[in-house]
Chain A
């Protein structure tokens, strides 16, 4: 009999994912790097995916665990559509499912090593949804969410830009704040890349951009001597 194996540590990993609510819906951003420890192993891995017609999810943490989760979601979406009962899975249902999945696995001491952001249309009544799930089964909803290093570096910037403006922030402003935060993360997070994607859910459905490069400015580096000392 084969011994049972468990995820004791993540191997190929993705870094931060960011998510915000804005005027017309929700928007997620993540880079496309899959690291192998400190090695930038795969530079074109898409970590934002569409789940059904009204939901997007973005994952940080172990990439293979995320691909397994993607597979599970595809299975339940097929099952759901085969019933043809007029019901469909909205963002809050996907979030609940992932919450129970992650909690169930942590309770077996065999976690799926991810932090996941779920965004989209809340339910059949409409409304925006932005939620979080992690490997311990912790769940919450908020108008701004960031995983990993993003929770330290980007979350304060996102809260400043979004809190209290969830219903007035325009799409252009939302894109700008996410691009700016991803750029700051690229400057400071050594496991990140400047090749990013954005995913949007609004009245016109789900859109996921092709990967694009963020413009960066390294001119200031010329004048830095030592560890940032100014003299």
Chain B
């Protein structure tokens, strides 16, 4: 009989244990994206910074224009991203002093992997996407996991809405399951990027507020800011 005795159910709020063990990591959300064209590259990210269900700020840029002309999009833990970019900028400066030239996009791609792997046992909790132009002036995109595993692509989307946007890009940029495979213009890529982010904002609570885009061409880098929904 006692096996079926009902457990006392609490009708008032149950005292929940308070979490006080220190965690060095936090996830600040956000989505980043990069698309390579024949002679250009578009790198974008939203500017919302979140923690749990709270929005910390509507404008905390996580896409950085690096001093060698490449653009790095960071997602995950904001503080680790800031620190990683400081590290990279210092290494780019040392490279300039040692070799009297800018580091190439491909060299930076390998270096970023090495920097991340050197912290294999206490990783930077950051999902990186690196975009720029390679030595021939063609668009290049590299994506990374937090421990330095990386791959070169034509397009990539990562972060909190990465899983929503990536298949959309596969279809609209990679033309998978499509008969026509037209050449991508920058105008088209910019429009697809905006559509990707406005749609991601609808479904992902960690994406929104503003979209910051970097348009990389051999003429230089143009930065744009577009409104996203702020709810």
Measuring CB to CB, which residues of chain A are less than 8 angstroms from any residue of chain B? 7-10, 99, 103, 106-107, 109, 111, 132, 135-142, 151-152, 155, 227
Contacts and interface: CB of A to CB of B under 8 A. Distances in A.
Contact of B60 (A9, A141, A227): A141
A10 B20 CA distance: 8
Given A8-B22, A9-B20, A227-B12, A140 B54 contact: no
5 contacts: A99-B79, A138-B28, A140-B78, A141-B57, A152-B54
A166 to B, nearest CB: 13
Interface string B11-28: 010000000111111101
Nearest to B49: A140
B82 interface: yes
A158 to B, nearest CB: 12
B56 interface: yes
Contacts of A10: 20
A103 B79 contact: yes
B21 A8 contact: yes
Nearest to B11: A227
Contacts of A9: 20
A103 B83 CA distance: 9
Contacts of A152: 54
A142 B26 CA distance: 19
B89 interface: no
B74 to A, nearest CB: 14
B58 interface: yes
Contacts of A140: 49, 56-57, 60, 78
Given A10-B20, A142-B58, 11 more contacts: A8-B22, A106-B22, A107-B24, A107-B122, A136-B25, A138-B77, A138-B78, A138-B79, A141-B57, A142-B59, A155-B54
Nearest to B122: A107
B170 interface: no
Interface residues of B, number: 23
Nearest to A130: B57
B90 to A, nearest CB: 14
Nearest to B79: A137
Interface in B123-164: none
Contacts of A109: 22, 24
A109 B122 CA distance: 11
A145 B26 CA distance: 19
A7 B60 CA distance: 29
A138 B24 CA distance: 10
Contacts of A138: 26, 28, 51, 56, 77-79
B24 A106 contact: yes
Contact of B54 (A111, A135, A151): A151
A111 B58 contact: no
Nearest to B22: A111
- The 8 nearest A-B residue pairs measured at CB: A137-B79, A142-B57, A140-B57, A9-B20, A140-B56, A140-B60, A106-B24, A138-B79
Contacts of B82: 99, 139
A142 B54 CA distance: 13
Interface string B34-70: 0000000000000001010010111110000000000
Contacts of B26: 136, 138
A7 B57 CA distance: 28
A133 to B, nearest CB: 9
A142 B20 contact: no
A149 B56 CA distance: 14
